[in-house]
Chain A
Amino acid sequence: MKERERIIVTGLVVLLLVLWLGFVFHRSPDFAGSLTGGILAVAGALLMTIPLAYLFVKRIPGLRSRLKPYVSMRTLLSWHIYAGILGPILVILHTGHKFESPLGIALTLMTLVVVFSGFAGRYLMSHFSSEIREKKTLLKELHAVRDRMIRHLAGHPHQAEAVRPFSGILSRMAAGLIQEPRGMAADIDAPVTPIMVVRLAESIADVEYAIETHQTFRRWFGTWLKWHIAVSALLYVLMILHVWAAVHFGLRWFKAPTTDHFRSTDPLAAAPADASFGTEPHSTAVQDFHRAFGRLFESTWRPPARINGISTTVFNYAEWARQARKEQSDFQKAVAALKRVQPGDLNGGDREKIFWINVYNFTAMKLAAENYPVDSITSRKISLTGNPWSLKTVTVGNRSYSLRQIETDMLLSRFNDPRIVFAVSCAAVSCPDRPSRLFTADAADSQLDSLVDTFFQNRSKGLRLDTNSRTLTVSWILKADRPLFGSGDDGVLQFIIRYAPPDIAAWLRRHGDDVRMTYFEHDWSLNDVALTTDEASE
């Protein structure tokens, strides 16, 4: 059992050495901080704390007796050994052979020192003891031969005389060159030659020296346990410092960005042009936006006129365009106020719903104003692909939004209210007519209801019923956003019945099952007062 453990652990220590020496051939500066490197680090560090269990159980008497029935010291020692070698292997892998920082280098060295002190203590110590035992036996045998030889020489003075010249240091060293080598005398009566005596003396000296060396080593290693514990303590201190440094200076693989993170790190926020960001309370910014947009809206709103045969409220976009070019205009004030708004602080509810609806309408009109003269916001002049909804054209807070984002992400997916698709207007002729004032949060519900009511009274783009052919023609918006009104035609029909003029609603309730629904052609032309035809505006 012990032999097997010894082979395995020796193999693992060699593996550790080989892995560590790998830095000669390979270095990966990114690996330690990567996700895989991080997992190795955490796993290795956790494994490296397991050996502490053995230390604590062994040194704390109360703990030892209490744990004895559950786990033996031998088992704990096995854990100590295997965790103590596997942990360092993982952390050496974690380094990716990047040994740059003084702390990292010290930590790696300490890890190796601790492993080797443990390995030496466990396996080399016992090896020394058995070596010394063997050598002492050998020495005893050699001493016996020496005693026999001395006795023999005492009986043969001429042989003793032959040995005498080799008693000096130099002559003894030269003996091997002068004398013929011959085997040790097995027979007690065989003549003792000088070389035999010299060889024997040398052998005894060698063995004595070996024993002395081994004993010195054993003395040095006698205190190994103290060293092992002291170096381990240092290792744990360095490890804590290393973990602290990694956490303090930032774990690269532990990147879980939140929305706030991205908003607050939008480069636009830090740009000098937006230096005033965050200096003013957001409520003021929202109010500023509504005030500026409201003034511009009311001053440019015109009552319904006809464009392409469709009755629609119109706006003076020439004035919008003029203000868009002028500093300190209501237009510019509205744009600036939006930049100061923090969307996260609007707290939901009607207040936020109305705010985003107004932002949408302002943005659509802004597109037209900034590119004026233009016949529609779908103009190629605004978007080459005829898709102005994806242009990130408005900055609210420190983030840019497209019309589609405002409608889908900020409104429809947060507020379950199909009236929103009527309230947001693409500044097109076929969009619902605008009331002469902006929507306000206080009267949001009634304003939105009234908007849809008015829209369904408009026979040129909202709703038209032909009872003879039983055909109901409704706005294309109802087709485009059909899923919002519930499933299938029935949902749309119920919505229509709810807002349609009473006579039509009553008819639809009776004949709803037997009505053909068609849709108006959506006219994207700009609801610009300049596009109204003369005879219609009269």
Chain B
Amino acid sequence: MSRSGRYISASAALGTAAVLWWLTPGKAVLFQAATWQKMAQPGALSSVHAHLENRCASCHTPARGVRPESCIACHAGSESLLQRGTTSFHAGISSCTECHPEHRGRHQHPTRMDHTALTHIGLRQLRSHDVPDSESRQLARRLREWIRRSAADPEAVPHTRITPGEFVLNCRRCHASEDRHLGLFGSDCAECHATDRWRVPEFRHPPASSTDCAQCHQAPPSHYMMHFRMISARVAGKPHARVGQCHLCHRTTSWNDIRGTGWYKHH
């Protein structure tokens, strides 16, 4: 192609592009920073944060990422979060993204409890203290040392159900209200429980023929009122049953499975 031919085709291409650009509907979108920033978006936001989809700067501080202030700006006043025993630890945590990852898709809830992350946050906070040799820094150092050593030597770990990193946490700080054993089994939850589930896989319920139900189970308040004699005992056909004799009326399939009566739910 001759030189002038090249110039002609180049300017024709440019002209076409200009005309196409001029004809593009909704051009304004192309001038918005968010349109281009979204090119780097690593997945959709969860539905609760979907309204922030076009406002990256609401959460991302340039060069510093998602800083807790951005989250706190909206969530600081959440009474249900900060004034409830199990979740009140949020007030002193100053670190969000470890357990609340985003951009995992519209239908993913942005919460993923990570106890090890909690340990790291705690250690980081202890270390963040001003004074080089302060008590909290020494504590952080000792804990880290212990975790490191225990990770290398599984024999030294007091529990097999949780990792050394999780072991340094105090379960009761958040889960005290969930203790169904009313403290009778002590405070060392990890003797039986793990961090990924409360259920104890090794637990086997005593056989259906067992009669000592009351050792673990507590009757509902209605059983200590007239309701028990007037309704419950009669419905079950055991007018002389005592409250502690669960096995006379109940079966192990469900509390509502009444012996000889079948499924029964009064309320």
Closest partner residue, chain A, to B64 (CB atom): A250
A-B contact pairs, 11 of them (CB 8 A): A29-B103, A101-B40, A250-B61, A251-B65, A252-B97, A262-B128, A266-B94, A267-B82, A270-B69, A409-B134, A413-B134
Contact with A along B74-85 (1 / 0, CB 8 A): 001100001000
Interface of B toward A, CB cutoff 8 Å: 37-43, 56, 60-69, 72-73, 76-77, 82, 90-95, 97, 101, 103-104, 124-125, 128-136
A408 touches B134 (CB 8 A): yes
Rounded to whole angstroms, the CA-CA distance of A30 and B103 in the bound complex is 11
The residues of B that contact A103 with a CB separation of less than 8 Å are 39-40
The residues of A that contact B64 with a CB separation of less than 8 Å are 250
B72 touches A270 (CB 8 A): yes
- Pick from A249, A265, A272: contact of B68, CB below 8 A: A265
The residues of A that contact B37 with a CB separation of less than 8 Å are 245
The 3 closest A-B pairs by CB, nearest first: A250-B65, A245-B40, A409-B134
Given contact pairs A250-B63, A261-B128, A266-B94, A408 touches B40 in the complex (Cβ within 8 A): no
The residues of B that contact A267 with a CB separation of less than 8 Å are 68, 72, 76, 82, 90-94
A271 touches B40 (CB 8 A): no
Rounded to whole angstroms, the CA-CA distance of A501 and B33 in the bound complex is 77
The residues of B that contact A251 with a CB separation of less than 8 Å are 65
Q: Which residues in window 377-415 of A have CB below 8 A to B? A: 404-405, 408-410, 413-414
- Pick from A30, A248, A268: contact of B63, CB below 8 A: A248
Taking the complex as formed, is A100 at the interface, i.e. its CB lies under 8 A from any CB of chain B? yes
A257 touches B124 (CB 8 A): yes
> A29-B43, A249-B56, A259-B128 given. 17 additional CB < 8 A pairs?
A29-B104, A101-B39, A104-B40, A248-B62, A249-B65, A255-B65, A261-B67, A262-B94, A262-B124, A262-B128, A270-B72, A270-B73, A405-B136, A409-B129, A409-B134, A409-B135, A414-B131
Rounded to whole angstroms, the CA-CA distance of A520 and B233 in the bound complex is 68
Contact with B along A78-118 (1 / 0, CB 8 A): 00000000000000000000101111100000000000000
Rounded to whole angstroms, the CA-CA distance of A259 and B131 in the bound complex is 10
A247 touches B63 (CB 8 A): yes
Rounded to whole angstroms, the CA-CA distance of A102 and B44 in the bound complex is 12
Interface of A toward B, CB cutoff 8 Å: 29-30, 32, 98, 100-104, 241-242, 245, 247-252, 255, 257-259, 261-262, 264-268, 270-272, 404-405, 408-410, 413-414
CB distance from A244 to the nearest CB of B (A): 9
- Pick from B60, B93, B130, B132: contact of A249, CB below 8 A: B60
CB distance from A272 to the nearest CB of B (A): 6
- Pick from B63, B77, B130: contact of A409, CB below 8 A: B130
A272 touches B76 (CB 8 A): yes
Most buried by A among B40, B61, B65: B40
A242 touches B40 (CB 8 A): yes
Given contact pairs A29-B43, A104-B42, A249-B60, A265 touches B69 in the complex (Cβ within 8 A): yes
Closest partner residue, chain A, to B66 (CB atom): A250
The residues of B that contact A245 with a CB separation of less than 8 Å are 37, 39-40
The residues of A that contact B68 with a CB separation of less than 8 Å are 265, 267
CB distance from B142 to the nearest CB of A (A): 15
The residues of A that contact B69 with a CB separation of less than 8 Å are 264-265, 270
B41 touches A262 (CB 8 A): no
B129 touches A101 (CB 8 A): no
Given contact pairs A100-B43, A409-B129, A404 touches B63 in the complex (Cβ within 8 A): no
CB distance from B196 to the nearest CB of A (A): 17
B76 touches A259 (CB 8 A): no
CB distance from A532 to the nearest CB of B (A): 35
B60 touches A248 (CB 8 A): yes
Rounded to whole angstroms, the CA-CA distance of A261 and B96 in the bound complex is 13
The residues of B that contact A30 with a CB separation of less than 8 Å are 101
The residues of A that contact B40 with a CB separation of less than 8 Å are 101, 103-104, 241-242, 245, 249
- Pick from A241, A264, A268, A409: contact of B131, CB below 8 A: A409
A265 touches B94 (CB 8 A): yes
The residues of A that contact B135 with a CB separation of less than 8 Å are 404-405, 408-409
Rounded to whole angstroms, the CA-CA distance of A46 and B133 in the bound complex is 39
A259 touches B42 (CB 8 A): no
CB distance from B203 to the nearest CB of A (A): 32
The residues of A that contact B104 with a CB separation of less than 8 Å are 29
Rounded to whole angstroms, the CA-CA distance of A255 and B131 in the bound complex is 20
CB distance from B135 to the nearest CB of A (A): 5
CB distance from A399 to the nearest CB of B (A): 10
Rounded to whole angstroms, the CA-CA distance of A536 and B135 in the bound complex is 41
A413 touches B128 (CB 8 A): no
Closest partner residue, chain A, to B134 (CB atom): A409
The residues of A that contact B43 with a CB separation of less than 8 Å are 29, 98, 100-101
CB distance from A242 to the nearest CB of B (A): 7
The residues of A that contact B129 with a CB separation of less than 8 Å are 259, 409
Given contact pairs A100-B42, A100-B43, A413-B133, A268 touches B60 in the complex (Cβ within 8 A): no
